[in-house]
Every structure is written in C-alpha cells, then in structure tokens.
Structure 1
Amino acid sequence: DVWVHGGGFATYHQARKERFARFEELLRRWEEEHARLKALVLRMRQQAANSPDMANRYHAMQTRFRKFEEAGPPPEPPREQDIRMRLRGGRTGVRAVTCANLELTGLMKPFDLEIYYGERVAVLGSNGSGKSHFLRLLAGEPVEHTG
C-alpha cells in the first residue's frame, strides 16, 4: 500500500501517526458492522422460522452478510520498522568531482580539485587556457588529458 505525504518532513511523523489511527478506526468500524449484521441475520432467521413472509428478507440479509464478509476487513497497516543504515566510507555521496593531478594536454598545468555536492563553481581563465576543454571532460566527452 503506497502512501504519499503531501507535506514536508517536519509534519511527516504526525501525519503517519494519524494515518495509523485511521487504520485502527476503520478496523473498529468494520468489526462493529460485522457484529451488527451477524446479529441481524440471527434475528431474521428466528423471525423467518415463525413467519414465511420473512423468509425472503432473511435470504437477502444472508446474501448481504456473505458479501460483507467476502469483501473482508480493511487492509492492515504496514508494520512498524526500525531501519538503521550503516554506510562505510565517511564522505560517500558528498564528493561530486575529484581531480588528482589532472592536466589538459597542452593547455593546463597539472592540478588537484575536489568539488562537493551543493557547491557552486566558476571556471575562470584567459582565452585559450582550456576552460571549455575542462567542462567537456566533466561532461564525459573525450578530451586529451592525463591524471
């Protein structure tokens, strides 16, 4: 059962608690209705035994009760889970680009660079210094380089 919370993370836990409370309320209502219909079927059976006119109503009530039971109770809520992730590699997923001793052949001297997720980077240099070649390399295009 997929559930989409339309709010932000700050309201997620409260909305989830309310969702679980609704599951419990639906199940309680279903059980009450089940008990009510069952009692009604038993009462109509007794009335049908005493009066032939009640037989049709008794059979209709049996059919209604059977269909109610076939539909079944509302779905059970998903079970609570305590999930803990243990990732190794201290900065996994934080570093976006790492350049070690990178040299664009004939354009740039070797340099080291680390760019982290979320950082803004400007590539500056004079005409012909290799800015476009560097960006093409980052884009995955074939560019002569070492490092």
Structure 2
Amino acid sequence: MSNPYQPQQSNPGQVPGSQPGQPMPGQPMPGQPMGQPIPGQPMGQPMPGQFARPYEHPQEQTLMALAIIGIFFWPCSPIAWYMGSKAKNEMVAQNMEPTSKLKTWTIVAMVFTILGLVVIGINIIMAVVGGLAILGMASDTSAGLLPVLSAI
C-alpha cells in the first residue's frame, strides 16, 4: 500500500498528472509523424464545416457607426444593414466566422430599417386617409369646413 503523503515517483519525460501512453499537449498522436497534417487536410486550414478564429472585418467600425447614427437618422440604417450583410457574406465565403459585434450591429440596423419602413407606411396611410377626409368634408356643403376653407 502506498503512502498518500509521499510524492509519487514519475517516469522520466512524463508530465506529472498525465496518463501514460497519451501524448503531451501539442504533440502528435502515436503513429503520426511530427509536423505532418491530417491526411487530406491542407496545412493551416480549418476542418470542413468549421470556421477559423473570429476576424474583425475592416468595415466593422463603419457599420457600427452607421447603425448608431441610423437610430436617430433613419436613412443610415438600410446602408448599415447592406454593409453588414455584405461583410458577413465575404467572411463566410473566406471560411472565417464573423464576430459577434458584426452580427449584433447588422441586426440593430435591420431592426431600425424595418421599424422605419413601418413608420413611413403608417404616415402614408394617415396622409391618404386624412386627405380623403378633408376632400369629403369640403365637398359636403352642410359641413362646417367650407366656410373655413373660403375664409383662407
């Protein structure tokens, strides 16, 4: 029986706490020559279906600024949405994962673009309904709007 308070003797070259027969971190598996890529896998390329590490797109800061400005000045939102979608597609085509900031600001631009279109649509409907109401009241001679319009 071994003493739990006595340090264990280790084999030379073995890292304390590692299991015998397992390679050290960063070492190839047994039977695989050192420095050789996985068969069928190009050097430096991620596995199929995997992305390389997140990479900041050069237009990411511009996208963020346009998305923030788009909150207050609506025409910037569709531009930011377009730029963000284009940047994400470029990164995916190059097998790189878009950063979370790029995804977030693209979604912010998308939301404010859709909200702006809804507001514009409501304004158009209100203008048409209001215009029809005014025309309907002006054509009615018994309405009180005709004297008001003739006084102007």
TM exceeds 0.5?
no
TM-score by length of 1: 0.32
More strand by share: 1
TM-score (norm 2): 0.31
